[in-house]
Amino acid sequence: MFELTDKIAAVTGGGSGIGEAIALLFARQGAQVAVVDVDEEAARRTADRITSAGGQARALRADVTDRASVHAAFVNIDADLGRLDVLVNNAGIAHVGTVETTPEEDFDRVYRVNVKGVYLCTQAALPLMLRGGGGVIVNMASIASLIGIPDRFAYSMTKGAVLTMTRSIAVDYMKKNVRCNCICPARVHTPFVDGYLAVNYPGREQEVFDQLSAYQPLGRMGTPEEVAQLALYLCSDEAAFITGQAFPIDGGVLVT
């Protein structure tokens, strides 16, 4: 079960965190993985981890906010790997602030990465999938697309858009054998979290980390590997009857 043998998968934001965990797991399950990241060195590190373990991967730099950059990356995937079966739109950034405290430039930047990035990568990937008879898309949304979260105005806006794009893509392409779902995590312990705490709460990192962990009723953050396992299921043949859905992985947040 949950095999991706002979599948070609592209994972954006694959250089670290959740994207790295997804790329590593997909490769272990038999996929050839295109690790796509704006940080080419980070993408290369993930790809090297895969090949060192006996898997197949290649690193590609792409800025998901730039059409030409995205187009070049997917042209390379097509030229080198011949098709595309799976796309995970994982690349994204966070933002803290209310509508009053969010500068316009921050609003625009979060939108470009989290919304326009999904649009551009999906637009570039779909012709490859359709030419091969279908495929699977998984978008990384958030519980912020399902409930209100304090001080996350711009971020929540973008993740709400990811959720509705997911449903629109699913409706438009289900007759063409393309499935599209999204994952809605609560807080996940990634290197981004550690960096955020170090910059914003020097000397109080553990205290604030514990506070962030306690937000989830299970008493901890999720792990990138747990999110990756859900992504694997949604991209596998075992999930062939699922499309247009949002899957929370939230440590109990939505039931309290």
Residue tagged active-site, from 155, 196, 201, 233: 155
User: In this structure, which amino acid lies at residue 160?
Assistant: G
Contact present, 246 and 182 (Cβ < 8 Å): yes
- Strand ranges inside 32-161, DSSP E: 32-37, 56-61, 86-89, 135-140
Distance CA(95)–CA(159), nearest Å, equals 11
Strand order in the sheet with 32-37: 56-61, 32-37, 8-12, 86-89, 135-140, 178-185, 246-249
Dist CA 204 CA 207 (whole Å): 5
3-class secondary structure, 111 = helix
Contact 196/189 with Cβ under 8 angstroms? no
**Does 155 qualify as catalytic in the annotation?**
yes
Please state the φ and ψ torsions of residue 136, each to the nearest 5 degrees.
-135, 135
Q: Which residues are catalytic?
A: 155
